Structure 1
């Protein structure tokens, strides 16, 4: 299995952008801004996902090797959702859908897609438990908020229109500090998604390690804190390349394991030839 879907030219373009920019540590993560979408698209491509959209269009559509999953990135979307992730149903699993707004940090969404293309864990920590362990505040049985009260993770338990889907909203501070103001970005994940994917998103969201942004990169809000990063531009590029190498190695290992579990095919069956009749 040969996985080289991210070309040298594409990697060089990523490197060219980042080696010419001084990285700044930016926190909290939910206010860091969108960053580089290639944190998501390059990761999926390294796992063997193929681009099925018009190469000259700003819209990107990637599809998984088994054709079950698709990721759409549309920076010209007429709605507030720029990212759309879909899973088709199988004999054992329901279909599901997730969408993410323009200003969701690509590194956080990339953690979810990394979990999607990796083998599912046998155990995982629940999303709310991850957030509370990181210092997020439990507002109710269905809602946890960030320490600055600008990001809320909500999962309703009723059987209404939202059912038990996950919703994440980062909003402007509300009046008096008790209510939320204008929405900055959102994520919606329906209830059929495997929970370990939501856990991966929550872990990336609450991670205290800052994200790197260039001096003039767009952040989600003016209150985001930025300081000169100890990382060099070369460190940022090297980390991206190392992540893609790890994803490729994981994909190759999964492919070898899948082939090893397939029943052996005899040459006669492989050619569709009937055995000779003994005279």
Structure 2
């Protein structure tokens, strides 16, 4: 096929109809590559078996992520090994959890942890979520009531982070995070959950929900590819910065090799 016959190239490409969806918590699962390609670009290794679920492992081998759309209950599973003062932890997110919200947590896995524990509830309160204690629990609920994040404790003291979203048509998802989940990950997850930014879905992938607002947009395939590449490039750059060896400037190293006797002669 000649290049000028292919509509996916250059001036011949055709715009595709997509939709910006608000609130993002009800946008449906989306393209899992938004999560997985960022992790691969950050140095995560493929550990999938031929007929098993998708599995990726962190560069230091302490965290494993899997995605299985066909299992029960299916969806995302993340497990972190015990390391130093950090206890073992886990997180499970249903298959209809928007990938942009999943990425809030998984992107944070590639970033250095702050020395100070963040206020998990701050990003939700900033978006006017109703937050406060409810008995043994502490909850945050979105202004439209469609999404929530809870820290739940039963009478025996067992605890879990629980999040979810749903509409009156039965669309929705739930997620659970172990109480030992590092707080910077819970914070990042909550920030992505509460973000007012809409998310994009192609035609045919928009949930049938009376509680979402949609804006139709025309997008070129090259634009989609460019936006995805920006995210991947940022992940690669961050991975390179983390892994590059610490080196001193050559001038400093040269000065370090000059002996006091040589410096004395140089001043004469």
TM-score range, shorter chain: 0.7 to 0.9
Tell me which stretches of 4 or more aligned residues in structure 1 moved more than 4 Å: 230-233, 257-260
What is the aligned counterpart of 1:115 among 104, 108, 117?
Answer: 108
Instruction: State the match for 2:129 in structure 1.
Output: 136
Distance in structure 2 (CA, Å) of the matches to 1:22 and 1:234? 14
Work out whether residues 33 and 220 of structure 1, in 8 Å CA contact, stay in contact via their aligned partners in 2. no
Distance in structure 2 (CA, Å) of the matches to 1:20 and 1:227? 15
1:48 Cα deviation from its structure 2 partner: 1.1
Instruction: State the match for 1:152 in structure 2.
Output: 148
Work out whether residues 26 and 166 of structure 2, in 8 Å CA contact, stay in contact via their aligned partners in 1. no
Instruction: State the match for 2:83 in structure 1.
Output: 90
Confirm or deny that 1:77 pairs with 2:65.
no
Q: TM-score, normalised by structure 2?
A: 0.78
1:125 Cα deviation from its structure 2 partner: 4.5
Confirm or deny that 1:44 pairs with 2:46.
no
Q: Structure 1 242/135 Cα, relative in aligned 2: closer, same or farther at 3 Å?
A: same
- What is the CA RMSD across the aligned residues, in angstroms? 2.5
Q: Which residues of structure 1 form unaligned runs of 5+?
A: 1-18, 174-180, 261-279
Q: TM-score, normalised by structure 1?
A: 0.75
1:59 Cα deviation from its structure 2 partner: 1.6
Distance in structure 1 (CA, Å) of the matches to 2:118 and 2:83? 25
Confirm or deny that 1:210 pairs with 2:198.
yes
1:251 Cα deviation from its structure 2 partner: 0.9
